[in-house]
Structure 1
Amino acid sequence: MSTEHETGGAPTKFGVVLFEGFQSLDVFGPLDIFNFLSKTRPLQLSILAKELKPVSTSFPSAGFGQSVVPTHTFQDAPHHIEVLLVPGGGGTRDDENIAPAMEYVKRVFPNLRYLLTVCTGSALVAKTGVLDGRRATSNKNSFEWVKKQAPNVNWVSKARWVTDGNVWTSSGVSAGIDMTFAFVSAIYGESDAEWIAARSEYRRQTDPDDDPFAKDPEAGSS
């Protein structure tokens, strides 16, 4: 199968959804891969949140965390975003906290070329109905909770990541890195993925079904 980079149509405009209590590695693992990719391609990044004030990884505030300053609010986000990344984290457990992010994802999904979720970011997205009828996965430590949020999703219990059409969902936290490398390989080319992994000194998991954290795949729970 030819990759999009071979036809000159690979996406260049990325967006990241933030909310209070997002998991840091869910965001920065994938973004560091795209940072490397941007050294050879003209990528653009928009960091999106409810407000322009710094968004903390801590929710509710526990005094220890890191904050990221958004570039746009959900209301004034660029209309040309092609790839949207949605992280998980403790903040996904509070519906009021993630309501603005959910509304944004539901609104823009029809115009996206790709939607990527990490960890319980898939639960956030699933609550919008976007994943109904699709295959998806999520953090195995929270898998039973995730399934209850959206029973119309075909939740895959044993998967490092799952691809269904233009939607890519990964298991917990570090799994987002492997998913993103697979995304880069599929969309931009394996040579790009290999180059980035070598410079990151990262040993990739290339089998999406190799999930050591799925405790009971036959029963569909963990």
Structure 2
Amino acid sequence: MSRTARRTTDTDTRVALLVFDGVKLLDVAGPSEVFGESRRYTVALCSPDGADVRTSIGVRLAVDARADRIGPVDTLLVPGSDAFPAAPTPPDVLTALRGLAPGARRIASVCTGAFVLAEAGLLDGRRATTHWRHTATLAHRYPRITVEPDAIHVGDGRVFSSAGVSAGIDLALALVEQDHGAEHARDIARSLVVFMRRPGGQSQFSVPSRTAEPRGHPLRAVLDRIAADPAADHSATALAAVAGTSTRHLTRLFHEALGTTPGRYVELVRLEAAQALIVAGHTVTSAAARSGLGSDETLRRVFLRHLNVSPTAYRNRFAASDAVSWTP
């Protein structure tokens, strides 16, 4: 979908969520709150047979209509379930989706709802994501999909997908922004007290959370020190002192536990800090200094090496009002 497709009227637009027994409650509630808070959408729940459903935590959801009687749908959302990665999608859910999809302007999944879109063939030849625990399964089971394992949300044409649970809120905000502009989406984010700018192309997890070692591991104090202050002195000598070991043994520990070197790990943490600073509005010079990367040139080299994009291009992509990453 092109950016020129943004809606300019304030007319109510129907958002339908296809729900079923075992659906994740937050996958339903998060996006529903975003669209409901906007007051420019009507939100309705439908199920394959029109019956109320019970969520994965046992809470019962009242359904507005049977899927084939929900009426015109602008945005169709398919939330996830813990069952989808391991078990086939129920036939009635697939039938309901296939009946609704052709008439919807856009279709989106939350978390493992991507498996339902994939089974229906809606992700064939497209980029997509899902919860980080299941990206490998999605890619293996559906080889025609280009799975982006770290992305928070991805859009390709009229089909969107998002990562686990709270990422559905990020995607809903991005879709609202696409329809009604950045200021309206920011107002909703402020009202809901959520972070507005978690760009779709950002990683689902920070470097420290992806590499955390069990408590008591010799590197635990070192990793905590780096995460607490990326810009501090994290030379091999300084980190070896924190670990109480030699620089040679420190390098061996990093290789054995994390498959990388101390220097590369520090660089990745500093890169992540710089990304957050740039998205928050800092200049390239300020981001370089505050992240510990030092100079503009070093920051540029690190961005190009790991992200294949310059800091300026990254800022233009993520710090501007382009809150959702999609391909026309």
TM-score normalised to structure 1 length:
0.84
In 2, Cα distance between equivalents of 1:89 and 1:27 = 11
Of residues 158, 169, 172 in structure 2, which corresponds to 1:177? 169
- Correspondence 1:40-189 to 2 at 5 A: 41=40, 43-58=41-56, 64-78=57-71, 80-92=72-84, 93-95=86-88, 98-189=90-181
Contact 1:85 1:116 (C-alpha < 8 Å) held by counterparts: yes
1:14 maps to a residue whose letter is V
Instruction: State the SS of the aligned residue for 1:191.
Output: helix
Gaps of 5+ in 2: 212-305, 307-328
Report how far residue 82 of structure 1 moved.
1.1
TM-score by length of 2: 0.58
Counterparts of 1:12 and 1:142, CA distance in 2: 32
Higher RCO, 1 vs 2 (CA within 8 Å, ≥6 residues apart): 1
Secondary structure of the residue aligned to 1:33 is helix
Q: Which whole-Å CA distance do the structure 1 matches of 2:148 and 2:43 have between them?
A: 30
Q: Distance in 2 between matches of 1:84 and 1:199?
A: 24
Over 3 Å counting, the alpha-carbon distance change for 1:161 and 1:10 in structure 2 is farther
Distance 2:114 2:10 in 1: 26
The CA RMSD measured in Å over matched residues stands at: 2.2
CA distances 1:55-108 after superposition (whole Å, capped 9, x unpaired): 1113xxxxx521101111123231x11110100121324326x32111121232
Aligned length: 206
Amino acid at match of 2:33: D
1:158 CA displacement? 2.1
Which ranges of structure 1 fall in alignment gaps of 5 or more residues? 59-63
Which letter does structure 1 place at the counterpart of 2:53?
V
Of 4, 7, 10, which aligns to 1:5? 7
Contact preservation (8 Å) 1:126, 1:149: no
Q: Which amino acid aligns with 2:64?
A: T
CA distance in 2 between counterparts of 1:20 and 1:195 reads 33
Shift of 1:11: 6.7
CA 111–174 in structure 1, closer or farther in 2 if over 3 Å, else same: same
Counterpart for residue 194 of structure 1: 186
Contact 2:50 2:67 in 1 (8 A): no
* 8 Å Cα contact 2:12-2:42 kept in structure 1: no
